[in-house]
Structure 1
Amino acid sequence: MSVLPLIFTSGWASGINAYAVVLLLGLFGATGVSDDVPEALQRPDVLIVAGALFLVEAVADKIPYVDSFWDALHTVVRPVAGGVVAALLAGEDGSLSQLAAGAVGGTTALISHLVKAGTRMAVNTSPEPASNIVVSLLEDLTVAGVVTFAIFHPVAASIVAAVLLLIGVLITFFLVRRIRAFLRRRREKRLAKRQGLAGPPAG
């Protein structure tokens, strides 16, 4: 069976939480649940690092504004992780198909990451922190559920991932105004703070 559906799903999930994807796939492979997981993801050191970073992200991702800062740091990390995982799933022979798989995984992860980051910026316009926690928990549960589903039903899971990605893109599109207003207020606050530090003009 082609691993393309699993590659697409892992790319989508990596754009939301790359560490969870590496950890879940590694555990599924190490425990013998799936034979499609490459040995590189099953290594104990990879699982330990992925688990530690997953815990850090689980906290940072639920704190207002910290989550957006964390997303900014991972603008490169998540797409690269999606591409690497995809290439490993496709095989380790350096073939054209492996490069194509890496491109699919990386591109999907980038789009998914941009959707996540844009949605979080909109959520941060709300003054209360509960929405950040709820959204983060939903993301974690969705990633875990879809990746697990992909191990047993890769084609169906890839369809679910594609639908969720499309919905996310549409939601982000409609939230553009709110995101722009949020960025404008941040710029105005920074400007006001700099003017306040400069003090009143000399008379």
Structure 2
Amino acid sequence: MSVLPLVFTSGWASGINAYAVVLLLGIFGATGLTDEVPESLQRTDVLIVAGVLFLCEAVADKIPYVDSVWDSVHTVVRPVAGAVVAALLAGQSGSIPELAAGAVGGTTALLSHFVKAGTRMAINTSPEPFSNIAMSTAEDLGVAGIITFALFNPEVAAIIAAVLLLLGLVILVVLARSIRRFLRRRAQRREERRLAATEARRVPPY
């Protein structure tokens, strides 16, 4: 059976929460629920690191503006993680070349990451924190649900992931104005901090 649907779905999920994907796949493989997961993802040290980083993301991802900084840092991390997980899954099954799987997983992860990061920028234009918490929780549950579903129904899960990715890209285009407003506001705050620091250096101590 081709592992491509699982590769695509894991790539989409990695763009949202790469640590959750590694953690879930590792746990499912280690507990014997599936034989699709390579042993390298089932190692205890990998599971511990993924678990700690998942907890860090779970906290940072729910704090306004901190989530956008976290997303910026993970612009490289998530696509790379998606590509690595995809290549490992392909190597486990042997049904498609690892390089091709890595390209699919990495590209899908990058697109879903842009959707996640852009949506958060739009949400951060609102002053209240509850929308961040709700969105982050929904994303975590979504990743857990679709990765679990993909291990047993990979084709259907891949279709769901593709639809969600397409909808996310459409929403991102719709929210473009809010995202630009967020970026201008962040640039303005950065400039204000720079000017304040410059002014503080000019004022002689008493």
The interval holding the TM-score normalised by the smaller chain is over 0.9
* 1:4-63 CA distance string (max 9 Å, x none): 000000000000000000010111111111111111111111111111110111001000
Distance 1:139 1:92 in 2: 27
Deviation at 1:183, TM superposition (A): 1.0
Distance 2:45 2:26 in 1: 11
Distance 1:126 1:92 in 2: 45
**Partner in structure 1 of residue 131 of structure 2:** 131
1:5-84 to 2 correspondences below 5 Å: 5-84=5-84
**Partner in structure 2 of residue 100 of structure 1:** 100
* 1:134-183 CA distance string (max 9 Å, x none): 00000000000000000110000000000000011001111111110111
Q: Is the Cα contact below 8 Å between 1:78 and 1:113 reproduced in 2?
A: yes
- Classify the secondary structure of the residue corresponding to 2:74: helix
Aligned residues: 201
Letter in 1 for 2:14: S
Deviation at 1:187, TM superposition (A): 1.9
CA RMSD across the alignment:
1.9
Letter in 1 for 2:138: L
**Partner in structure 2 of residue 175 of structure 1:** 175
Distance 2:88 2:8 in 1: 13
**Cα gap change, 1:70 to 1:56, in 2 (>3 Å):** same
Aligned-residue sequence identity (percent) comes to: 72
* 1:69-124 CA distance string (max 9 Å, x none): 11111111100000000000001699981100000000000001011000011111
- Classify the secondary structure of the residue corresponding to 1:33: coil
Distance 1:55 1:191 in 2: 32
Letter in 1 for 2:165: L
Q: Is the Cα contact below 8 Å between 2:84 and 2:102 reproduced in 1?
A: yes
Q: Is the Cα contact below 8 Å between 1:11 and 1:83 reproduced in 2?
A: yes
Q: Is the Cα contact below 8 Å between 1:63 and 1:133 reproduced in 2?
A: yes
Q: Is the Cα contact below 8 Å between 1:92 and 1:98 reproduced in 2?
A: no
Letter in 2 for 1:148: T
Unaligned runs of 5+ in 2: none
- Classify the secondary structure of the residue corresponding to 2:97: helix
Letter in 1 for 2:113: H
Distance 2:76 2:95 in 1: 24
- Classify the secondary structure of the residue corresponding to 1:91: helix
TM-score, length basis structure 1: 0.94
